[in-house]
Amino acid sequence: MPRDSPSNETETTAWERDIDYYCARCGALVTRGQWEMSLNGGHEHVFFNPAGLVFRVLCFREVPGAGTRGEASGLFTWFRGYLWRLASCLTCDAHLGWRYEGSAEPRVFFGLIRDCLTTKPKP
């Protein structure tokens, strides 16, 4: 695993160390380890989109460094009962993942693409 990739450690460890997650493209702060969450049995998930691309997705309750685009969609949703919108970096507009919205708890969460994040700030 590259040194600047988010770790695969447990949520407890991430909270204790208060990991910061930055945009891999521009280095802007995106979210923090204290907002990691477990959904459907884990914090990290692996999904395939309809084109066959593989995504490693990390789940977060809050992502202050991301904005959303587009209408909410239920097409090919990876989390049953949730609609999604694109989530992008507020600083450079890089696609970071998706914001999920549903009627069950949690009502809103983010699924961020692991490869779009780094734990090392740019100098």
Rounded alpha-carbon distances, angstroms, from residue 122 to 1, 21, 29, 58:
19, 11, 10, 21
The pLDDT tens digits of the residues spanning 68-116 come to 999 999 999 989 999 999 999 999 999 999 999 999 899 999 999 999 9
> Rounded to a whole number, what is the largest CA-CA distance in the chain?
41
Q: pLDDT tens digits for 111-122?
A: 999 999 999 988
Token representation of residue 111? 């699924």
What angle is formed at CA 26 by the lines to CA 21 and CA 121, rounded to 5 degrees? Answer: 45
Residue 13's pLDDT band (boundaries 50, 70, 90)? very low
The pLDDT of residue 15 is 46
Under 8 Å between Cβ of 22 and 120: yes
CATH number at residue 26: 2.170.150.20
Domain membership of residue 60 (yes or no) is: yes
With CA atoms as reference, report the closest residue to 122 among 30, 25, 34.
Answer: 25
pLDDT band (50, 70, 90) for residue 8: very low
Which structural domain, as residue segments, surrounds residue 29?
11-118
Domain assignment of residue 5, yes or no: no
**Is the pTM of the predicted complex or chain greater than 0.85?**
no
Would you say residue 6 lies in a domain?
Answer: no
Total number of domains in the chain:
1
Would 39 be classed as within a structural domain? yes
- 28 vs 38: CA distance, rounded Å: 24
Asked if the structure places residue 123 within a domain, the reply is: no
